[in-house]
Amino acid sequence: MRPAAAIFDLDGVLADSAVMHYAAWKRLADDLGIAFDEAANEALKGVDRMGSLRLLLALGNRVASQTEMEAMADAKNAHFVEMVGRATPANLLPGAERLLADARAADLMLAVASASRNAPVLLARLGIADRFDFIADAGAVLHPKPAPDIFLACADALGVEPARCLGFEDAAAGIEAIRAAQMFAVGIGDPQALSRAHLIYPSTAAVDLGMVLARSTIAQH
């Protein structure tokens, strides 16, 4: 069946904000004296704020109370919000606008499935908020990625069967979420980290939507 919708993750797929999340976590990790680098950050990608903090604390073998954890998460978010506040359309990843235009030209409905509660502000600063038929509210989703909830919420809002949705993700947790939703998973980034994707491209600019449509139409996912 031909795809009818394209559902995009935001950080690291449409915007270069994955590096902002990393920078914000790195600053918190440095403050806490926890060794943290880009390789360790792979596991945090796509994971919601408290889930990411739990992974970071586990890396440093730290235990913290709920109150301490809330303060840490607030500190990380303050670093991130400061960076998002300075974001402009220049923070769109190369190829992002073309991919959205190609998807629209292919008669696909468009949605954003971001785990970030800052997604609406970032989309507005990037100038692309009005390009989507639906933007999922991360705060309204019960189970975070890798659960399928946020992708299923998009399919539901668009009125499209999950099997006719394409999901685009740069995070392993996101690819799992797309697969759990029974959608066609397009990975953007490292082939090893995203090995569960149906198709993988090294960057957003490298995505060939014509090929994605052809492959997803014949694939049994």
Query: Given the rule CB under 6 A, which residues bind ligand G6P?
Result: 11, 18, 21, 44-49, 52, 77, 80, 114-118, 171
User: Does 9 participate in catalysis according to the annotation?
Assistant: yes
55 or 106: whose CB is closer to ligand G6P?
55
In the complex, residue closest to Mg ion by CB = 12
d(CA 18, CA 31): 20
The active-site residue, picked from 9, 48, 149, 170, is 9
Query: Could you tell which of ligand G6P, Mg ion, none binds residue 109, using a CB distance below 5 to 8 A set by kind?
Result: none
199 DSSP β-pair partners: 186
- Report if residue 7 touches Mg ion, rule: CB under 5 A: no
Buried-exposed string 51-74: b where 16+ CB fall within 10 A, e elsewhere: ebbeebbeeeeeeeeeeebeebbe
Minimum gap (Å) between residue 116 Cβ and ligand G6P: 3
Task: Give the residue with the Cβ less far from Mg ion, 149 or 170.
Answer: 170
- Minimum distance from CB of 194 to ligand G6P (Å)? 14
Q: What's the DSSP call for residue 201?
A: E
d(CA 146, CA 151): 10
Give me 11's structure tokens.
Answer: 């950080």
As measured in angstroms, the least distance from the Cβ of 72 to Mg ion is 21
CA distance 177 to 168: 11
Minimum CB distance to Mg ion, residue 26 (Å): 17
Binding to Mg ion in span 146-175, by CB under 5 A: 170-171
Could you confirm whether 30 is annotated as catalytic? no
- The label of the residue with tokens 């992974």 reads 55
C-beta of 4 vs 111, nearer to ligand G6P:
111
Q: Radius of gyration over alpha carbons of the chain, in Å?
A: 17
- Ramachandran bin of 107, using left for φ above 0, alpha for ψ from -120 to 50, beta for the remaining angles: left
CB of 11 or CB of 176, closer to Mg ion: 11
Q: Could you list the active site residues? A: 9, 11
Enumerate binding residues for Mg ion (CB under 5 A): 9, 11-12, 46, 170-171
